């Protein structure tokens, strides 16, 4: 099968072990599966989100905060059966949802696993936590299986998208994908303080890019109003080991953060999230140490 799951449409035969633009073959590769409390409050409500961190990524942004897994080198290859078991183990731990982190390049093989889990009583919202660079055909195949879409809207400027992610078509594709997500989940549904259906769009504000952040917020407000939630993220951190453009070799400054708060202040507090400026740093990045991925010894010997 020549892979066309993401907009890169690289055509790699991942089912035969080839690695595509995402950097991984088709078999599920997972770096961590555990309760995660560093998402927005409506996602991490209660005991935390049941986050499953997939290895590989179609975008490979130069500023990636999870480069350890996005390049596909970290993680363990597991079967569809093991992934199914992980979902229920997270449920037993009290997860508020099943949070599929960077699932884009595994979307189609995820479908039968999600169908089976839902049929067998998983009964937790499924969160599709992605970079926003999604194929419409793939999203339509997921309809009814995803409860909460959690996409990024990284850029509106094609040249910025090319410079930082090698994807000049990112703005067009991300906006088309968002429209499809909203078609599937057109308004937020709550269970107390937990979002159980709907859309939450993230924008990571980059150093020197507050004007783009303003445009992103304005576009989302104009097109969707209160039908979606928005998260304006100030946590950008230059990660060691990368080759960053000079302008990205710093965190946001106080003036840039004040501008973000000013933008957010003009919108209903119920529909927008912001972060403290001190969120910048590596502390919010979990260890990708295969926690929750391997089968427990007692279970293997049972």
Query: pLDDT digit string (tens) for 3-33?
Result: 999 999 999 999 999 998 999 999 999 999 9
Q: pLDDT band for position 217 (50/70/90)?
A: very high
Tokens of 276: 């403290």
Q: What is the mean pLDDT of residues 164-176?
A: 98
Classify residue 234: in a domain, yes or no. Answer: yes
If you ran DSSP here, which 8-state letter would residue 284 be given? Answer: G
Environment class of 302 (CB within 10 Å of its CB; exposed 0-12, middle 13-18, buried 19+)? exposed
Distances (CA, A) of 166 to 58, 138, 158, 162, 169: 10, 21, 10, 4, 9
Residue 286 inside a domain? The answer is yes
In a domain, 117, yes or no: yes
Structural domain for 219, as ranges: 30-293
The domain total for the chain is 1
Burial of 249 (0-12, 13-18, 19+ CB in 10 A): exposed
Q: What is the CATH number of the domain that holds 266?
A: 3.20.20.70
Mean pLDDT of 180-200: 97
Separation of CA 77 from chain center: 20
Residue 300 has pLDDT above 80, yes or no: no
Q: How far apart are alpha carbons 76 and 104 in whole angstroms?
A: 18
* Residue partners of 301: CB distance under 8 A and separation at least 6: none
The answer to whether residue 25 sits within a structural domain is no
State pLDDT tens for residues 78-92. 999 999 999 999 999
What confidence category does residue 296 fall into, taking pLDDT thresholds of 50, 70 and 90? low
In a domain? residue 255? yes
CA 292 to chain centroid, in Å, comes to: 19
- Distance (Å, whole) CA 181 – CA 287: 30
Task: Name the strand (E) or helix (H) holding 180.
Answer: helix 170-184
Q: Does residue 18 sit within a domain?
A: no
Q: Are 185 and 149 spatial neighbours (Cβ–Cβ below 8 Å)?
A: yes
Beta bridge pairs of residue 197: 189
Instruction: Please check whether residue 205 is in contact with residue 256, taking contact to mean a CB–CB distance below 8 angstroms.
Output: yes
φ/ψ (deg, to 5) at 136: -60, -40
| 253-290: pLDDT as tens digits | 989 988 888 888 766 666 899 887 766 555 567 899 99
Q: Encode pLDDT of 196-212 as tens digits.
A: 999 999 999 999 999 99
Half-sphere exposure of 272 (CA within 13 A, CB side): 21
Q: What phi and psi values does residue 112 have, to the nearest 5 degrees?
A: -65, -30
88-110 as b/e: b if 16+ CB within 10 A: bbbbeeebbbbbbbbbbbbbbbb
**pLDDT at site 286:** 87
Mean pLDDT computed over every residue of the chain: 92
Decide if 209 is inside a domain: yes
Distance CA 190, CA 160 (A): 35
Predicted TM-score of the model (pTM): 0.95
* pLDDT exceeds 60 at position 73: yes
Owner of token pair 């770096």: 31
pLDDT value of position 284: 65
The predicted structure's pLDDT at residue 301: 37
Question: Is residue 118 in some structural domain?
Answer: yes
- Phi (first) and psi of residue 103, to 5 degrees: -95, 0
């Amino acid at each position: 099968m020549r892979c066309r799951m993401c907009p890169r449409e690289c055509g790699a035969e991942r089912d035969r072990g080839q690695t595509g633009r995402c950097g991984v073959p088709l078999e599920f590769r997972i770096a961590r599966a555990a309760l995660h409390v560093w998402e927005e409050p409506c996602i991490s409500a209660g005991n935390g989100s049941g986050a499953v961190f997939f290895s590989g990524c179609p975008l490979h942004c130069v500023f990636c905060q999870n480069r350890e897994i996005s390049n596909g080198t970290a993680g363990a290859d597991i079967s569809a059966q093991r992934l199914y078991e992980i979902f229920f183990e997270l449920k037993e731990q009290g997860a508020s949802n099943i949070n599929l982190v960077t699932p884009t390049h595994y979307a189609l093989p995820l479908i039968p696993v999600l169908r089976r889990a839902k049929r067998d009583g998983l009964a937790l919202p499924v969160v599709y936590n992605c970079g926003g660079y999604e194929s419409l055909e793939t999203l339509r195949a997921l309809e009814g299986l995803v409860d909460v879409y959690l996409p990024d809207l990284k850029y509106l400027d094609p040249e910025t998208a090319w410079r930082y992610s090698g994807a000049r078509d990112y703005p067009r594709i991300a906006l088309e994908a968002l429209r499809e997500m909203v078609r599937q989940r057109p308004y937020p549904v709550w269970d107390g303080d937990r979002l159980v259906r709907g859309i939450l769009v993230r924008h990571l504000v980059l150093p020197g890019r507050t004007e783009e952040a303003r445009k992103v917020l304005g576009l989302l407000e104009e097109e969707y109003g209160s039908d979606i939630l928005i998260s304006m993220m100030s946590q950008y951190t230059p990660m060691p080991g990368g080759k960053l453009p000079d302008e990205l070799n710093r965190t946001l400054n106080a003036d840039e953060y004040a501008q973000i708060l000013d933008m957010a202040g003009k919108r209903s507090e119920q529909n927008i999230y912001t972060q403290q400026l001190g969120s910048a740093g590596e502390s919010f990045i979990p260890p990708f140490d295969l926690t929750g991925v391997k089968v427990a010894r007692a279970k293997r010997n049972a």
